[in-house]
């Protein structure tokens, strides 16, 4: 986790479960605010709340956080703030979706019932209790590169698969204290609510997730790196007793280097060391290396996604931004 004060950019990770009566209108207003502040990233808005990861210059991020918190609906939002040398994203996406994180558990409202929130300090004290079971609520590609020591993981490709896996995997631990965790805390809101619904009695969640624990408590006992949904791909978490958890998909040597296969028809997201990356020209196998549609490899293993016609600066958004500038106004959340 970078703490270098001279880094000019900030990366914000946040969410808030709160009712939004007209999310489509709010989406347009929020998009306009992000454009004005030169922010990049991914934001999801729905009737149930707000979920985002964005990057920008420090002053722009401060202005964004102040604008969001000024709205009474988001007054309690918890921003996880990291420093970075540059933008962590290439584009801006502000989109409406039915859920702010896809779980399929639309009947659960974390504001009504969810697991007890543990601060990073409380989590640190409780995680090694013999009566405690740590449960990782993330997908395979996330926990493969890093997870807490002794934590239980699910064999799932997407969070929406969790409700089918969790009851069976956790059945032997129903009399234990369950502590759920994820990257920033959002998945645990509904995951812990789901476990309570399934009859688990003592359910807790790491408030702010792995990222907040790293910032406030040094990430002790987190093995490997934390997968993140931006250009950084995976970040350092543990400053106390770090280890490498993952292995190269090709040769099996220890590596934390996450890439996508250069063959777009494969696009496997996995760990591949630099040596194998060079030998296979960014592919995960010889057949993928020899595929006629293989993308050019620049050494990073990162390939920008196609926008499928989505342009954040076209139509309504650009016209509204230009109009606001002509009038000498700064867009806000309440306009």
List the catalytic residues.
182
Please give the full DSSP string across 302-329, using - where no structure is assigned. Answer: --PPP-TT--TTSHHHHHHHHHHHHTT-
Task: Taking the CA atoms of 206, 88, 308 and 302 in sequence, report the sign of the dihedral they define.
Answer: negative
Q: How far apart are CA 261 and CA 297, in angstroms?
A: 9
**Exposure string over 114-129, b if 16+ CB within 10 A, otherwise e:** bbebbebebbbebbee
Cα–Cα distance measured from residue 16 to residue 189, given in angstroms and rounded to the nearest whole number: 10
Angle subtended at Cα 211 by Cα 210 and Cα 213, rounded to the nearest 5 degrees:
65
Spatial separation of the C-alpha atoms in residues 23 and 44, rounded to whole Å = 10
DSSP-assigned beta bridge partners for residue 203: 178
Are 133 and 177 within 8 A, CB to CB? yes
CA distance 332 to 173: 48
What are residue 270's phi and psi, to 5 degrees?
Answer: -155, 180
Q: Which residues, 6+ apart, have CB-to-CB distance to 61 below 8 Å?
A: 10, 12, 37, 39, 54, 55, 81
Phi and psi of 52, rounded to 5°? -155, 155
What is the torsion angle, in degrees rounded to the nearest 10, for the CA atoms of residue 222, residue 55, residue 204 and residue 44?
-140
- Residues 20, 24, 25, 28: is their CA dihedral positive or negative? positive
């Amino acid at each position: 986790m970078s703490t270098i004060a001279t880094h000019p950019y900030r990366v914000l990770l946040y969410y808030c479960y709160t009712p939004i009566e007209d999310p489509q209108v709010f989406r347009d207003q929020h998009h306009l605010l992000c454009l004005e502040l030169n922010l990049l990233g991914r934001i999801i808005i729905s009737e149930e709340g707000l979920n985002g990861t964005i990057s920008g210059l420090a002053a722009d991020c401060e202005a964004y956080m102040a604008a969001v918190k000024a709205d009474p609906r988001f007054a309690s939002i918890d921003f996880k703030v990291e420093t970075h040398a540059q933008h962590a994203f290439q584009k801006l996406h502000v989109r409406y979706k039915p859920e702010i994180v896809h779980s399929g558990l639309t009947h659960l409202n974390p504001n009504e019932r969810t697991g007890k929130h543990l601060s990073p300090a409380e989590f640190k004290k409780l995680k090694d209790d013999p009566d405690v079971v740590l449960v990782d609520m993330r997908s395979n590609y996330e926990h493969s590169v890093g997870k807490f020591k002794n934590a239980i993981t699910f064999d799932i490709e997407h969070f929406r698969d969790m409700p089918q896996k969790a009851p069976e995997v956790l059945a032997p631990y129903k009399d234990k204290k369950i502590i759920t965790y994820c990257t920033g805390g959002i998945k645990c809101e509904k995951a812990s609510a789901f476990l309570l619904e399934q009859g688990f009695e003592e359910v807790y969640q790491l408030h702010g997730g792995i990222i907040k624990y790293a910032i406030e408590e040094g990430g002790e006992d987190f093995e490997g790196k934390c997968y993140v949904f931006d250009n950084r791909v995976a970040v350092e978490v543990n400053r106390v007793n770090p280890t490498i958890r993952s292995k190269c998909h090709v040769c099996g040597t220890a590596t934390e280097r996450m890439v996508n296969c250069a063959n777009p028809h494969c696009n496997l997201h996995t760990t591949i060391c630099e040596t194998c990356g060079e030998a296979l020209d960014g592919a995960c196998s010889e057949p993928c290396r020899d595929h006629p549609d293989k993308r050019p490899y620049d050494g990073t293993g990162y390939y920008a996604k196609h926008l499928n016609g989505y342009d954040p600066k076209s139509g309504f958004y650009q016209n509204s931004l230009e109009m606001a500038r002509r009038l000498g106004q700064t867009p806000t959340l309440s306009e």
